[in-house]
Homo-oligomer: A and B are copies of this chain.
Amino acid sequence: MSAVAKEGDVVLLVSPDGKRYLIRLKPAEEWHCHKGCIRHDDLIGRPLGRTMHTQHGYAMLALEPSTHDLIHELPRTTQIIYSKDAAQIVMRLSLYPGRTVVEAGTGSAGLTLMLARSVMPSGRVYSYETRPESFDMARSNLEDLGLLPHVTLYNEDITGGFHETDVDAVFLDLREPWLFLNHAWAALKGSGFFGSLIPTVNQAEQLVAGLQALPYGDIHMEEIIIRPWKTVAARLRPADRMIAHSAFLIFARKIEAGDESLSWMPDKKRRAYRGKQAMAEREAEREAEALRLEALDILPPLADDQHDAE
């Protein structure tokens, strides 16, 4: 998007009290608010970064919308995805031009637009959505932003699996993502990037357990928290209120099926792995000792391998 607004562009208007509005420019149309109206024709063909005025003299700053603005201000039928989470997802899934990524569900395409902007022009997003109203809104939002050529939208459920294989990344934004871990695995290339977003810790427990039971490795769980500040130089301080929680992000990597060496897995499995190694070593020592004692005709002491669960 150039600095000059064109017909069809999506433009951001920011009001003096910080409200933000997206409008799609069409000749002869008007944007209305309770403080008056602004004519699209006063924007088309003219540079952005200017203050516009309604006929009542109310000021509005006209800007090119950022990815943040698009994600937060697009029409939606579903729970919002926060731009802070979308940014982290793109980075963790290692998306860049040329990559392929499968997404389920599409929702209102808030994340989809960020995925598409990351992998275009040579890459592709494959996005699945069951609810027809979300599917329609996603298509409409992507079309308005000119991103539809980079996205394959399916109005299908995924209980039968994904159409794609060998993709670079799979992202699940579903209520029960742990039900689809096998499908995600089948769609991913080796070493491919898995991600998911869930709002509750109950879901997190299920998803982490599911990933650890399957050939996934390098599992991470994290929260992204944004703390906004008030931009008054002489009285600089954080804002009064902030978002406390949007979702937990969980990431993992596809590894080879049948890969028995789970030693690089985090925490619990690693501890179990080390415990087993330690036990094997002790067992070997004990056998050696038993053989030695046997040679001496003495009974070995009783084994005591119990240790604290934590």
Contacts and interface: CB of A to CB of B under 8 A. Distances in A.
Residue among A4, A226, A236, A240 with the most chain B CB within 10 A?
A236
A59 interface: yes
A212 interface: yes
Contacts of A87: 87-88, 90-91
A175 to B, nearest CB: 9
A274 B223 CA distance: 32
A261 B254 CA distance: 51
A132 to B, nearest CB: 17
Interface string A249-288: 0100111100101011111101001100000000000000
Dominant SS at the A interface? Answer: mixed
Interface in A223-243: 223-243
Contact of A218 (B63, B94, B192, B255): B63
A217 B268 contact: no
A191 B231 contact: no
Contacts of A120: 96-97
Nearest to A71: B91
A226 B224 contact: yes
B92 A14 contact: no
Contacts of A222: 226-229
A206 B236 CA distance: 10
